Amino acid sequence: MKGGRNLFKVKIENSILPAFQGENLRELLIKNGFYINSPCGGNGTCGKCTVTVNGERVKSCGYSISSDISVVIPQNEEIFSSSGLSEAVKNATDKDNVVFCLDIGTSTLALAMVSKSDGKALKVVTKTNAQRVFGADIISRIDYCKKNSVAPLKDALINQINNMLEEIDASKPCPLFVSGNTCMLHFFFEKDASSLGIYPYTPVFLEGQAFSGEALGLKNVTDVLSLPCISAFVGADLTAGLSFIEKPKDNKYNILVDLGTNAEILLFSKDKLLCTSAAAGPCFEGGNISCGMSASDGAIYSFSIDENGNKKYKTIGNSSPEGICGTGLFDIVAELLKENIIDETGYMSREDFKITENVSFSQKDVRQFQLAKSAVRSALTTLMKLENISFDDIEALYISGGFSQELNINNAIFTGLLPKAEEEKIKTLNNTSLSGTVKFALDGKNPLDEFKIIEYIDLSASLDFSESFINNMDF
């Protein structure tokens, strides 16, 4: 006993953790470096921080320790994501002339070891961002930073990256080039991100950062260099994307939409760049969806209903269905609209729709999808209106993000995320953040230097966005 409180033992894996009576199990696990999925940040709303305590499944966020216990955490989700990089031959052995390239996403980390001679990836490792224990979205993590400190967020990243570096198994220390959204880079470099959650949303830095690997706690890394961010909510991941895609012809525009928790959009001509961000929330990555999950083994990524009403689906890894990832979400909404189970307002004619015995889709899920797709579509519409252009003036619309390569474009249009357009204009890309970081590592060019005008559009102050958001809620 200490101060009148009983001390108990929590057995987990090969460790014994001391815990005081009444201590919260989720907080104890996080404090001791154990990954546990917690999209809501411990508010008790998502139900996904489940662990097994003495053989019984419980929500760790609501479990108060009152005895010695044995805890089993579900195995970490393995992310299935295409890197977008050209892969070297399997027997490549040129490990002496390489660089590390890292994309720090809100939901996913992607790390590549790249040959400097030809720009091909010798190895790529992707993992779910361990910071999900602090919440699925950026705001949840900023709130944690404000109430506690940035250190646990930084430590979660560094520990995970070190494990990924070990998995890559380079023969000698190498430089690391980094991209990510502004908030993720603040956590990575251990900068207080609290100001990003309070108006006027002032970042500590936007310019590219340079540190030694040792200073950041990274193993087998010499120097760390990051690309510059554009604004508080348009980060280095979009800067990297710019370096990867071509500029449009004269009098034309290109659009880059990065679909994620914080959807970032660039509208640019040869010399002018308009950008903005829309709070789509985590639903495109499985967050805040009742049976949502990341793009990992068992996730439904494709869904359809045939003329006889039979449900057809595909899962990642051809495994038993465990939940729904982002691309599956678009397919499900589109099919339910076609079947008149969902009407144009988003009303669902039944309480929930069973996809499999253990996977379903609810009215609440429809509303989450509506909010996300309306945010993205309205942001896109607002930027085009500011430039007084139509889709006829757009040369290409690029969709990037962790799941973009498997996105059914027809369903993205049908559900209202994207405007109707010639099919050849809309192009899905892999991880442009990682691909662009590789390009930066090889040529050292900052793509922002090519623009005469760079302007961030604050949607919160835009009447056009507010009106569009309401209109785009419907299907």
Judge whether 356 lies within some domain. yes
Q: Which two tokens stand for residue 105?
A: 């996403």
**Strand ranges for 311-458 from DSSP E:** 311-315, 323-324, 352-354, 360-362, 394-400, 426-428, 453-456
Judge whether 127 lies within some domain. yes
Give yes or no: residues 415 and 301 share one domain.
Answer: yes
Give yes or no: residues 54 and 165 share one domain.
Answer: no
Give yes or no: residues 284 and 177 share one domain.
Answer: no
3-state SS, residue 172: coil
pLDDT at position 4 is 55
pLDDT at position 92 is 44
pLDDT at position 256 is 95
Dist. CA 320–CA 300, nearest whole Å: 9
pLDDT at position 82 is 52
- Taking a C-beta distance cutoff of 8 angstroms, is the pair 182, 196 a contact? yes
**Strand ranges for 172-289 from DSSP E:** 174-180, 210-212, 221-226, 253-258, 262-268, 272-279
pLDDT in tens, 346-392: 999 988 999 999 999 999 999 999 999 999 999 999 999 999 999 89
Query: Which residues constitute the domain of residue 451?
Result: 246-428+445-475
CA angle at 112 for the pair 93 and 117, rounded to the nearest 5°: 50
Q: What's the DSSP call for residue 55?
A: T
Give yes or no: residues 332 and 204 share one domain.
Answer: no
Give yes or no: residues 273 and 407 share one domain.
Answer: yes
Give yes or no: residues 392 and 451 share one domain.
Answer: yes
pLDDT at position 429 is 85
pLDDT in tens, 112-141: 999 988 888 888 998 888 898 888 778 889
H/E stretch holding 386: helix 363-386
Dist. CA 216–CA 111, nearest whole Å: 17
Kindly give the parts of the chain with pLDDT less than 70.
1-5, 33, 35, 37-48, 75-96, 402-403
Give yes or no: residues 145 and 285 share one domain.
Answer: no
- Taking a C-beta distance cutoff of 8 angstroms, is the pair 119, 243 a contact? no
Give yes or no: residues 123 and 221 share one domain.
Answer: yes
Best CA proximity match to 255, nearest among 364, 411, 394: 394
pLDDT at position 8 is 84
Other residues' Cβ atoms within 10 Å of the Cβ of residue 290: 17
Judge whether 140 lies within some domain. yes
Tell me, what amino acid is at 362? S
Dist. CA 441–CA 439, nearest whole Å: 5
Tell me, what amino acid is at 327? T
Other residues' Cβ atoms within 10 Å of the Cβ of residue 226: 27
pLDDT at position 11 is 87
Judge whether 81 lies within some domain. no
Judge whether 51 lies within some domain. yes
**Strand ranges for 105-220 from DSSP E:** 108-115, 121-128, 174-180, 210-212
Judge whether 26 lies within some domain. yes
Dist. CA 171–CA 474, nearest whole Å: 55
Give yes or no: residues 406 and 268 share one domain.
Answer: yes
Judge whether 235 lies within some domain. no
Give yes or no: residues 282 and 190 share one domain.
Answer: no
Count the helices and strands in the chain (H runs, E runs): 11, 22
Judge whether 78 lies within some domain. no
Query: How many domains does the structure of the chain reveal?
Result: 3
Give yes or no: residues 183 and 254 share one domain.
Answer: no
CATH code, domain carrying 62? 3.10.20.30
**CA 135, 326, 201, 126 torsion: positive or negative?**
positive
